[in-house]
A and B are shown apart, each in its own frame.
Chain A
Amino acid sequence: MSVNEQQPQLSDLPPEMLDFNILKATIPLAPRLGRLSLPGRKSILTPAFLGNTSRGAVPHISQDNFRKCTTLNGVYVALEDFIEKMPHKQPPVFQVEGEEPLRQFIALPKETLLVLGARRAPPVPSPAANTNSEVGLYTSVGFRSISSEYFAAAVRNLQPDIVVGLADIPFGQESIGTKRKDKMADRTETWMRDIIAKRKTLEKEERNFNIFAPILPIERDLQSWYLEHLVDDMAAKIHGVAIYDSFLLDGLPEELHHLPRLSFDTPATPQALLRQVNLGVDVFTVPFVTDATDAGIALDFTFPAPAKQDAESNVRQSLGVDMWRTEHALSVTSLTEGCTCYACTKHHRAYVQHLLSAKEMLGWVLIQLHNHAILDAFFAGIRNSIENGSFDNDFAAFEAYYEPALPEKTGQGPRVRGYQFKSEEGQGKVPKKNPKAYKPLMGETDRLKLQAIHGQQPNKKPEVADQIDDEALMGLVDLENMRPEEQLEALEVEDDKS
C-alpha cells in the first residue's frame, strides 16, 4: 500500500478537515482503494456507499435500527427534503439550536459522516427550470427554487461534514443544446465560488464544512473553463468531486485526481456499479437498494461471485430473490444463506413472504436491512479484490455469473411515499401502481359492503374506527386507481377524526 505523500497526516489536520488517503491506485481510470477520514467520524474505506436518505432517514430504517442493525458509516441527505415551508416560512430545520442542527434534527449518530446536497439521489426533475441565480427543486409539496446564496447560507447553518456544490444540471432533459451546456458550466462555476466564499466567512468557532465540486455530465471541452478555474483558483478549497457521468472521468484534470469521487451517476445494477468502480469512483449512493426493497426483492449476490458449480452451464444466477413468491411461504431459511444481517439471523423467508403479502411494513424493514448488509459485503469484496489485484478478473466473472439486471418486480410495493408521487407527475401522467386486488367475484354491492367492513369508508365513530382493518389503511387494497395525492388524502381522513 502506498500512502499518497502529498496528503497531510490526520493528526496535522485542523478539526473538521476531510482527509482522503489513496491506499492503492495504479493508473488513472482504474479501480482504487482509499480511506475517507474526518475527525470524530468513523473512517470509510473506499470504494464504499452512503446510506441514501429520504427526509433524513434511510427508508424503512428507523434511527434505532440504523444504529443496531446496519453498518453504515455515512449518509447522503438532500436539502430539498427539508425546505418545503420556504419561501413563506423559515423551514423548521433552520431553527434547531446547538451544534450540528441537521445531524440533531434527523437523529444521526455522532460518528456517521453526513453529506448534504441540494437534490435527492436520484433527483426528480423539477418543472422549475434553473436560472442564472436559482436552482429548481422538488419538495414534498411541490417545486421550489433556491438561490445559490440561500443554499450557501443553509449549508452554513446546517453544518454537514461534506456539501456537494450546486450544479446546474437540467435533470430529465433528454438532449441538451451546446448553448445550454455553456450555461451549465458558467452557472456551476459561479455557484461554486459562492459556496467557497461563504466558507471563508465562517467564524473561527463555527464548524467547517468540506466542499465537493460537481463535475458536469457534459463533454470536457464544454466545461473546460470551469475545470480550469477549479484547478487554478479553487483546488485548495475543494475536498472532493461529485461525478454525474462516470464515463467522463477521463476528462477529470489530473490536479483533481487525489480528491475523493462521489458518484451521482445512478447505477441500475451491481454490474453498473462495478463499471464505475473500474473507472475509479470511490463513493456511491445506490438507489437501487431501496428500489429493490420496495419491490420486495431480497438482493442475493456476492463479490467475487461464487465459483461456478457447473463450468459448462450458461445459466446465470439471479441478483435477487422475489420475496413475494408463494414458494417461500414454508421456507424457514434465511433470505441469503450465510448472511449475518438482522433479518437473516432472526427471521426466515416464510415470515418475510407473509409480511409482504399481508402488506405489513415490517416486511420492507427486514428486506431493507438485508439489502444493505448485502451491499456492504459486496463493497468489502470489491475492496479485497482491488487489494489482491484481481478486480478485473473478478468483475468479468461476476458478469458471467449473474443476470445482467435485477429481477422484475411482481408484487405490490409499499404505499407510495411522498417523494415517489412526483416522479410520475413529472411525466405528466400517473400510471397504475398496482393491479386491482379484487377480482369481480362478487356483485358491486357486496364488494362495497366488504370494503366498508374493512375500513375503506371513513367512519365517524372512533370507537368503531378502532375495528378498522389495518390492511385497508396502510395497504393498497382498492386504493390503487386513485391518484397518489388522493390516496394520501383518503388516508388522512381516517385519523383526523380520532
Chain B
Amino acid sequence: MAPVPMPSALSFELLGKCSVTKARAATLQLPHGPVPLPIFMPVATQASLKGLTPEQLEDAGCRLCLNNTYHLGLKPGQATLDAIGGAHKFQSWPHNILTDSGGFQMVSLLKLAQVTEEGVRFLSPHDGSPMLLTPEHSISLQNSIGSDIIMQLDDVITTTSPDLARMTEAMERSVRWLDRCIQAHKYPERQNLFCIIQGGLDLDLRRKCTAEMVARDTPGIAIGGLSGGEAKDAYCKVVDTCTGLLPEKKPRYVMGIGYPEDLVVSVALGADMFDCVWPTRTARFGNAITARGVLNLRNAVYSEDFGPIEEGCRCVCCRSQEDGGLGITRAYIYHVTAKETTGAHLLTMHNVQYQLNLMRLVREAIIEDRYPAFLKEFFGKLYDDKSKYPEWAVDALRGVGVDLLSD
C-alpha cells in the first residue's frame, strides 16, 4: 500500500561518485540553506551545543545540527515552542536543524517502556509520570519544532536482540508507523520527513524493510537501530546491504555514528549523513579528536605540551594568534578541563571542527575521485602500524574494492 508521493522540501544534487567504493559527494539544499554531503551533524540535544553559542557553532562551519525531540518535548515543551515559533527562533539558529523522533531514546528506555501498536508508554524521567509517545505525537512535536528534517517514529529494539519474532514485529510496525507519520505530517512542503529502515542485523529483514520504505518515497532515508553495541562487521553489512537497495538521488542517513573511522568507512559503503553526541560530549572530559587518534588531555603528559591541540588544525583554538586564532595549547586545556566550563567550550569547538573538516576532506577526495587513497592515508595516520588496523574496517573496505593492507 504505497500512498501518494509526498512533497519534498529538499533537493539533492549529486556532485561525484567514487569510481571504486560506493562513496558519493553531493549538495543537499534544505529550507535553511545548502549543506555539503557527506556530512557530520553535531548534536545540540536540548537546543544548545555544550555551552557553545550558535555563533561559535556557525564559526566552526556547522550548517546542520541535531535537536532531540524527546528532550525538547519535555523542555521547553510543545506549547512554548508553538508560542515562540519553533526551535530556530527559540535557539536563534539561522541554519538547518534535524530532529529525531524521540524513538531513539527508547533503546535505553526500553526496560521501563512498553511498546504497543498505539505507541510507546514510558515514565517521565523528570517526575515519573506515565507518558505516551505515538507516531502522531512525535510528528506533531517535530512540526512544532519546525526542524528542516524530521524523523519518523520507529520501533527500535537493540540490534543484538536474539528474538527474531520481536525483530520482525518491530520492523513491520516501523513501516506502519511511517504511514501514520506521513498522514500526520502537517508541513511536508517545509519539513522533510525521513523514513527509518529497521530490521536489526538480519539482512533479509533489512531488505524487506528497505523495499517497503523506499516505496513510500520520503525525501530522505535513514538506516536506524544501529550504534547499539553490535559488532562493527555486522554494522557494515547492514549499511552496505541497505545502501545497495536505495535510490541514488536521495540522502542516506545512518543514525548515531560519529567515530572518525566509522564515518570514513560508512561513507565508502554509500552513506551520506551521520550524527553522534560523542565528539562533543567527550570534549568535556578533555578528549581531543585528532587525525592520530583521541588524546585525553587530562593526562599529565600534556600538562607541559605547549603545542596546539592538533598541529595544522584550523579551529579557532588551534590557530595561532598571528593567524587570527587563540593559540590555545594542550597544556592550557589540561589546566582548565573539568575545572572550568571554558575548558569544555574550547575543546568542543576543536572537536566539532575536526569532525566537520574530516567530512570536508572526504568530500573533496570523492569529488576528485581519490577516495581510496584518502582512506589509506586516513588509516595510516590513525594507526602507526597496519597490524593495528581494525579487522572490521579492513574487511568492509575490501568489500567495496579498497585493500587497506596493500601498498
Query: Given A329-B76, A351-B92, A466-B278 in contact, is the A361-B107 Cβ separation under 8 Å?
Result: no
Expressed in whole angstroms, the minimum distance between the Cβ of A114 and any Cβ of chain B is 15
| Beyond known contacts A110-B321, A351-B90, A417-B339: 11 more, CB 8 A cutoff | A56-B336, A57-B340, A64-B316, A105-B335, A351-B47, A354-B80, A354-B90, A355-B46, A360-B48, A361-B51, A496-B296
CB–CB A64/B335 < 8 A: no
Expressed in whole angstroms, the minimum distance between the Cβ of B246 and any Cβ of chain A is 25
Expressed in whole angstroms, the minimum distance between the Cβ of B296 and any Cβ of chain A is 8
Contacts of A446 in B (CB 8 A): 112, 123, 128
Q: B341 at the A/B interface (Cβ < 8 Å)?
A: yes
Report how far A372 CA is from B127 CA in the complex, Å.
Answer: 36
Contacts of B258 in A (CB 8 A): 466
Q: A424 at the A/B interface (Cβ < 8 Å)?
A: no
Contacts of A82 in B (CB 8 A): 335
CB–CB B284/A346 < 8 A: no
CB–CB B342/A61 < 8 A: yes
Range, interface on chain B: 35 or more
Report how far A361 CA is from B348 CA in the complex, Å.
Answer: 12
For chain B residues 113-160, which have a beta carbon within 8 Å of chain A? 123, 125, 127-129
Q: A473 at the A/B interface (Cβ < 8 Å)?
A: yes
23 examples of A-B residue contacts, CB within 8 angstroms: A60-B51, A62-B342, A62-B346, A64-B326, A64-B349, A92-B304, A140-B339, A350-B76, A350-B90, A354-B76, A358-B71, A362-B48, A417-B339, A418-B339, A441-B129, A453-B111, A454-B125, A461-B229, A463-B229, A466-B256, A473-B281, A474-B284, A495-B282
Q: B345 at the A/B interface (Cβ < 8 Å)?
A: yes
* Segment at the B interface, from A144-152, A261-269, A299-307, A486-494: A486-494
Which residue of chain B lies nearest to A62 when distances are taken between CB atoms in the complex?
Answer: B345
CB–CB A56/B335 < 8 A: yes
Q: B45 at the A/B interface (Cβ < 8 Å)?
A: yes
CB–CB A107/B109 < 8 A: no
For chain A residues 102-123, which have a beta carbon within 8 Å of chain B? 104-107, 110
Q: A439 at the A/B interface (Cβ < 8 Å)?
A: yes
For chain A residues 32-78, which have a beta carbon within 8 Å of chain B? 54-57, 59-65, 68
Q: B383 at the A/B interface (Cβ < 8 Å)?
A: no
Query: Given A346-B54, A346-B92 in contact, is the A417-B278 Cβ separation under 8 Å?
Result: no
CB–CB B304/A365 < 8 A: no
CB–CB A65/B56 < 8 A: yes
Which residue of chain B lies nearest to A342 when distances are taken between CB atoms in the complex?
Answer: B53
CB–CB A361/B287 < 8 A: no
Report how far A234 CA is from B56 CA in the complex, Å.
Answer: 48
For chain A residues 305-364, which have a beta carbon within 8 Å of chain B? 329-330, 332, 342, 346-347, 350-351, 353-355, 357-358, 360-364
Contacts of A461 in B (CB 8 A): 229
Report how far A252 CA is from B344 CA in the complex, Å.
Answer: 44
Q: A95 at the A/B interface (Cβ < 8 Å)?
A: yes
Most buried by B among A62, A107, A473: A62
For chain B residues 41-65, which have a beta carbon within 8 Å of chain A? 45-56, 59
Report how far A469 CA is from B56 CA in the complex, Å.
Answer: 23
Q: B83 at the A/B interface (Cβ < 8 Å)?
A: yes
Q: B276 at the A/B interface (Cβ < 8 Å)?
A: yes
Contacts of A417 in B (CB 8 A): 339-341
Q: A485 at the A/B interface (Cβ < 8 Å)?
A: no
Query: Given A56-B335, A105-B332, A350-B80 in contact, is the A453-B125 Cβ separation under 8 Å?
Result: yes
Q: How many residues of A contact B (CB 8 A)?
A: 78
Contact among A347, A364, A471, A492 with B285 in the assembled complex (CB-CB below 8 Å) = A492
CB–CB A350/B84 < 8 A: yes
Of all A-B residue pairs in the complex, the 7 with the closest CB atoms, nearest first, are A361-B51, A495-B285, A441-B128, A418-B339, A360-B48, A62-B345, A442-B128
Which residue of chain B lies nearest to A96 when distances are taken between CB atoms in the complex?
Answer: B306
Secondary structure at chain A's binding surface: helix, strand, loop or mixed? helix
Q: A228 at the A/B interface (Cβ < 8 Å)?
A: no
CB–CB B112/A453 < 8 A: yes
Q: A97 at the A/B interface (Cβ < 8 Å)?
A: yes
Q: A464 at the A/B interface (Cβ < 8 Å)?
A: yes
CB–CB A467/B331 < 8 A: no
Contacts of A470 in B (CB 8 A): 45-46, 50, 277, 281
Q: B303 at the A/B interface (Cβ < 8 Å)?
A: yes
Report how far A417 CA is from B341 CA in the complex, Å.
Answer: 8
CB–CB B327/A107 < 8 A: yes
Per-residue B-contact encoding for A429-466, CB less than 8 Å = 1, 0 else: 00000000011011000110110011000000111101
CB–CB A332/B340 < 8 A: no
Contact among B51, B83, B123 with A442 in the assembled complex (CB-CB below 8 Å) = B123
Q: B328 at the A/B interface (Cβ < 8 Å)?
A: yes
CB–CB B303/A92 < 8 A: yes
Report how far A60 CA is from B53 CA in the complex, Å.
Answer: 11
Query: Given A55-B336, A65-B56 in contact, is the A358-B227 Cβ separation under 8 Å?
Result: no
Q: B161 at the A/B interface (Cβ < 8 Å)?
A: no
Expressed in whole angstroms, the minimum distance between the Cβ of A354 and any Cβ of chain B is 5
Contact among B50, B84, B105 with A361 in the assembled complex (CB-CB below 8 Å) = B50
Expressed in whole angstroms, the minimum distance between the Cβ of A449 and any Cβ of chain B is 6
CB–CB A107/B332 < 8 A: yes
Query: Given A350-B76, A495-B285 in contact, is the A488-B112 Cβ separation under 8 Å?
Result: no
Expressed in whole angstroms, the minimum distance between the Cβ of B55 and any Cβ of chain A is 7
Q: A498 at the A/B interface (Cβ < 8 Å)?
A: yes
Expressed in whole angstroms, the minimum distance between the Cβ of A366 and any Cβ of chain B is 8
Report how far A466 CA is from B83 CA in the complex, Å.
Answer: 32
Most buried by B among A96, A358, A418: A358
Contacts of B83 in A (CB 8 A): 330
Contacts of B111 in A (CB 8 A): 449, 453
Q: A414 at the A/B interface (Cβ < 8 Å)?
A: yes
Q: A85 at the A/B interface (Cβ < 8 Å)?
A: yes
Q: B33 at the A/B interface (Cβ < 8 Å)?
A: no
Which residue of chain A lies nearest to B346 when distances are taken between CB atoms in the complex?
Answer: A62
Report how far A471 CA is from B74 CA in the complex, Å.
Answer: 13
Expressed in whole angstroms, the minimum distance between the Cβ of A346 and any Cβ of chain B is 5
Most buried by A among B47, B48, B127, B329: B48
Query: Given A346-B92, A358-B46 in contact, is the A92-B331 Cβ separation under 8 Å?
Result: yes
CB–CB A104/B345 < 8 A: no
Report how far A446 CA is from B128 CA in the complex, Å.
Answer: 9
Query: Given A350-B80, A466-B256, A470-B45 in contact, is the A106-B341 Cβ separation under 8 Å?
Result: no
Contacts of B91 in A (CB 8 A): 351
Q: B108 at the A/B interface (Cβ < 8 Å)?
A: yes
Which residue of chain A lies nearest to B79 when distances are taken between CB atoms in the complex?
Answer: A330
For chain B residues 280-295, which have a beta carbon within 8 Å of chain A? 281-282, 284-287
For chain A residues 372-427, which have a beta carbon within 8 Å of chain B? 414, 417-419
CB–CB B53/A346 < 8 A: yes
Contacts of A355 in B (CB 8 A): 46-48
CB–CB A488/B90 < 8 A: no
Report how far A470 CA is from B108 CA in the complex, Å.
Answer: 14
Q: B367 at the A/B interface (Cβ < 8 Å)?
A: no
Expressed in whole angstroms, the minimum distance between the Cβ of A53 and any Cβ of chain B is 9
CB–CB A60/B341 < 8 A: yes
Which residue of chain A lies nearest to B75 when distances are taken between CB atoms in the complex?
Answer: A358
Report how far A473 CA is from B46 CA in the complex, Å.
Answer: 14
CB–CB B80/A330 < 8 A: yes
Q: B338 at the A/B interface (Cβ < 8 Å)?
A: yes
Report how far A85 CA is from B345 CA in the complex, Å.
Answer: 24
CB–CB A453/B109 < 8 A: yes
